[in-house]
Structure 1
Amino acid sequence: MAFTVTTLAWAAIAYHSQLQSAGELENVRSAIKWGTDYFLKASSKRNRLYVQVGDPVKDHECWTRPENMKTPRTVLMIDQNNPGTEIAAETSAAMAAASIVFRGTNRSYSRQLLNKAKLLFQFAKTHKGTYDGECPFYCSFSGYHDELLWASTWLYRATRRPTYIEFITEEATTATVAEFSWDLKYAGAQILLSKFYFEGQKDLENFKKQADGFVCSNLPQSPYHQVHMSPGGLIHLRDGANSQYVTGTAFLFTVYSDYLATHKQMVSCGNKQFKSADLMAFAKQQMDYLLGQNPRGKSYMVGFGNKPPTQAHHRGASVPKMSPNKVVDCSMSFVYWYNPEKPNANELTGAIVGGPDRNDNFEDRRSSSSMTEPTTYTNALAVGVLAKLTKHHAQS
């Protein structure tokens, strides 16, 4: 949830006017505040952060609506003795980014978020360790160094305090990567830091080079291209909510395209150079694919476009409304609401599902979770791109 809030806040900061013009800015702010209110409650005690409520193993044994869940509400937390650097740093990033969003409309709330972001970053940095309590579902495969860079970058963006830039340039670990996701944030931090490099902070040049490396790894025309493209032209990193990598790449390309245009810069990939417009064209092509311009002529957003998904892998959408007091037989829940090959009882309007495989094949089946499961971060990463494209479309 923290990564969802961080990236949604970034969209609100970068595309404030576009979201306002579309009439969606208050909806975005409301969604961010829903998350940050929870984070404030979860981090009310110093050096302690509550990170999960529920037993994911037991939850996966029952297919029912949240309102009817009777599975254990186990509470998991991190503290000085059981650290979780990834979670603490990502939550710090979310609060720092959100503090910028609310700075002009709710100054006291913005200050509260920023103060908590600072404390959580200090906690993450001082008590280092990977937290595995959420495995096997959300395990950190990339380690915590990317989250420390990500959090310090957002804190620098929110405060401009030298202590954070010193950490970034002297202590933080960085790497050139081809992916941006909830588990791997290097590319996001590098693109944010490139903005400061363009504005004159020349000690950040390496981050600009690494941001270029991310672009070069994803652009099909680049001599250093390494990410698989489906025959129809969609990024495919791995099965299992692959659309998150599509919207993540599209969002970073959109933001970086703006930075390049503002500062009249280009991306160098060996003997080839790419302009701002090249990045934006690729971002648009990726989003167009998800919305229906693909070999199947099919939208991958529920309730939108041509032949949208009808069986999103989502309990609340697939289980019909019932009394919250009704006791659900978990052993039969899959028979009633998971296995039937019929549209969901409730439409999860706007959700982007996992999408097709590496060869553009897709099954609209609830049981094909890698293709039909939506995630909050997939949609959060799409918001900024779509806001920019809405403005671009209106102008053209």
Structure 2
Amino acid sequence: MKFSKIIATIAACAPALIKAASQDYARHLELSILFYEAQRSGKLPANNRIFWRHDSMVDAGKDNNVDLTGGYDAGDNVKFNFPQASALTLLAWSAVEWKDGYKEAGQWEYMKDLLKWGMDYFVKCHTGKTELYGQVGNGSLDHGAWVPPEDIDYKYPSYKITASAPGSDLAGETAAALVASSLAFREDDPEYADLLLKHGKEIYDFADKYRGSYDKSIEDAKGYYRSYSGYMDELVWGAAWLYKATGDETYKKKVDAIWDYPYGDLDPDKFLGSTGPISWDDKKASSYALMAMITGEDKYVKESTTHSDLMVNYKTTPGGLWYDTNLSMWGSNRYASNAAFTVAMLASSMDPNDSKRKQYVKFVQKQIDYIIGNNPAKVDYVVGADPSSPKAVHHRGASGSKGADKGPDENVFVLYGALAGGPGARDDYKDTRNNYEMNEVALDYNAAFQGLLAFLVKEGLNVPDPKQTWDGAWPPKEPKPDIKWDWNISTDEDSYMSGAPTIATGSGLKCAKWCFTMEVDSSKVSVQNIWGGESKEVTSGKVYKVCNGYDNGYLDGKGTKINWNFNFKKPNGGKGVDILPKTVVFYCNGDKYGDSYLVN
């Protein structure tokens, strides 16, 4: 009897068994690449797969007479190059080391497109040997507005670093991204790889010769992406990549000059002994792993192994997600992925039969499985991956709204592949747009996570899911031109007609904003009044356009009706005379970018 009570107590205290919702890492990898496609800035290519994204910031750099179009933004609309470069370096590294994973997932060509979109932009930003643009857009202006990038109506100035206003952290990271990407392209496109390596070398020389923190030169960045860890880690990081790409011992000496320097324990530039994960700001642990993989030398391997062991044995949430009390409260999934990323990199260089390697792989898989559904909240934190996935992540374009606290509770558009910030310390999660800590998305959130998906595919651990047929699964069903229009006449007298027409869309045709135009026969009717839309416009006296903007009549694709109103005057009288327009042209998501439909 006593024994059975003990067993019952143990069972009650044990964590609940949680079945993984998915271990289809390839499918989640495909979705993550789609997230980056949704963040593209500039003139979009013809093969754009995100139907609600359009050209944006097509004159970026105009204020300084340079072309700074392209690259990526995040959930806001500023192109902060420091975190952007950090994300792209990790992505390029994953492409170099886990190329087979991308290929097996059928995503290699898309991955090259992802990298090229970013690298083409960085090449544009390098306007001189000692001149590098590091930001397009003003953080204060941007964070004071909630509009998709296509609708920006405020200035987006460009900022640069120079020899007299340096930024070794920004330049060092940009160089790392270019050089790492050159290795990813080396086999498929050697000419492009040479171009990236050339720019990477020049930018690194600039970073090393003219030293300083970029946020002292681009002061607007300080309130958003300040370089807290200094720039020594980026100088090591950039040199390590150049050493890997060229084999030039000069770069190894640059690594060792900082690696071997006897920094004090309280010195902010201390390079060895990192106790935290990598981040957009901190490249120490990634440098440990990269140098260990390049050289196999004891001092590098030891430092990387010590750090990896610390990450593997770190505290977690009750459900098992890597969690740091200070860091993880904002973007816990991001930090768990970052902690696992350097562990996976080191594991890639170890003997497959090494017991420690097996421990490392198990740790990595546990973190990813948690993120994609094997967690107490039973949430797949990748948007659009599962019916349980977040539906209200903090993202201007996807929201279909002009305010984080406006519009429908769920985003109008699905931001496929975005990794939501993640749960709290007790595995708790709330899916609301204003929940920045748990529901923000960003370029750096997905970077390490995506790489780990490729790693697990390469490891042979992918378990394909059944075909996803639930409403909203990727690829989404092509919205049908399902538009229901009812004139809803309320009064039809000899001299006038009035009504409150309704518009509704079905079959998944979502319109965050909309317009319609109609042509009336001026011999039979004159429009006395139209109201219910945000704006009205009359062309040639007989063509009328009515538009409804964001947050003023969202059409949900589920048949919910929105109405407007009219008064038509009949100059010649005649009750019952057929005076209504025979056709109406309807524009879903506005008449600037939206698709047009003929409504009979």
Q: What TM-score results when the alignment is normalised by the length of structure 1?
A: 0.87
5 Å-filtered alignment, 1:276-355, equals 276-319=357-400, 333-334=402-403, 338-340=405-407, 342-355=409-422
Segments of structure 1 that go 5 or more residues without pairing to the other structure are 221-226, 266-273, 321-332
> Is the contact between residue 118 and residue 155 of structure 1 (CA under 8 Å) also seen in structure 2?
yes
Q: Is the counterpart of residue 175 in structure 1 residue 253 in structure 2?
A: no
Q: In structure 1, what is the equivalent of residue 231 of structure 2?
A: 144
> Is the contact between residue 339 and residue 367 of structure 1 (CA under 8 Å) also seen in structure 2?
no
Distance in 1 (alpha carbons) for counterparts of 2:122 and 2:289: 26
> Is the contact between residue 54 and residue 71 of structure 1 (CA under 8 Å) also seen in structure 2?
no
Q: In structure 1, what is the equivalent of residue 247 of structure 2?
A: 160
Percent identity of equivalent pairs: 31
Q: In structure 2, what is the equivalent of residue 44 of structure 1?
A: 127
Q: Which amino acid aligns with 2:289?
A: I
Distance in 2 (alpha carbons) for counterparts of 1:249 and 1:261: 21
Distance in 1 (alpha carbons) for counterparts of 2:224 and 2:332: 16
Provide, for residues 166-197 of structure 1, a one-character-per-residue CA deviation record: whole Å limited to 9, x for no partner.
11123456212121111111111111111234
Provide, for residues 115-173 of structure 1, a one-character-per-residue CA deviation record: whole Å limited to 9, x for no partner.
11111111111111112220110011111111111101111111111101111123456
Q: In structure 2, what is the equivalent of residue 231 of structure 1?
A: 318
Q: In structure 2, what is the equivalent of residue 187 of structure 1?
A: 285
Q: In structure 2, what is the equivalent of residue 393 of structure 1?
A: 461
Ranked by relative contact order (alpha carbons within 8 Å, sequence separation 6 or more), the top structure is 1
| Secondary structure of the structure 1 residue equivalent to 2:461 | helix
Aligned length: 362
Distance in 1 (alpha carbons) for counterparts of 2:421 and 2:450: 16
Determine which of 437, 448, 451 is the counterpart of 1:370: 437
Distance in 1 (alpha carbons) for counterparts of 2:112 and 2:421: 25
> Is the contact between residue 318 and residue 345 of structure 1 (CA under 8 Å) also seen in structure 2?
yes
Distance in 1 (alpha carbons) for counterparts of 2:288 and 2:374: 31
Segments of structure 2 that go 5 or more residues without pairing to the other structure are 1-83, 262-270, 465-600
Q: Which amino acid aligns with 1:386?
A: L
What is the CA-CA distance between 1:216 and the residue it aligns to?
2.2
5 Å-filtered alignment, 1:45-194, equals 45-132=128-215, 133=219, 134-172=221-259, 174-177=271-274, 178-194=276-292
Q: What TM-score results when the alignment is normalised by the length of structure 2?
A: 0.58
Higher Rg of the two aligned structures: 2
| Secondary structure of the structure 2 residue equivalent to 1:261 | coil
Distance in 1 (alpha carbons) for counterparts of 2:149 and 2:398: 11
| Secondary structure of the structure 2 residue equivalent to 1:37 | helix
Distance in 1 (alpha carbons) for counterparts of 2:408 and 2:336: 28
> Normalized per residue, which structure has more helix?
1
Q: Which amino acid aligns with 2:223?
A: P
> Is the contact between residue 176 and residue 211 of structure 1 (CA under 8 Å) also seen in structure 2?
no
> Is the contact between residue 398 and residue 415 of structure 2 (CA under 8 Å) also seen in structure 1?
yes
Provide, for residues 13-63 of structure 1, a one-character-per-residue CA deviation record: whole Å limited to 9, x for no partner.
111112112110111110100000000000021100001111111101111
Q: In structure 2, what is the equivalent of residue 241 of structure 1?
A: 331
Q: Which amino acid aligns with 1:159?
A: T
Structure 1 residues 342 and 171, CA, compared in 2 at 3 Å: closer, same or farther? closer
| Secondary structure of the structure 1 residue equivalent to 2:161 | strand
Q: In structure 2, what is the equivalent of residue 224 of structure 1?
A: none
5 Å-filtered alignment, 1:379-390, equals 379-390=446-457
| Secondary structure of the structure 2 residue equivalent to 1:386 | helix
What is the CA-CA distance between 1:67 and the residue it aligns to?
0.3
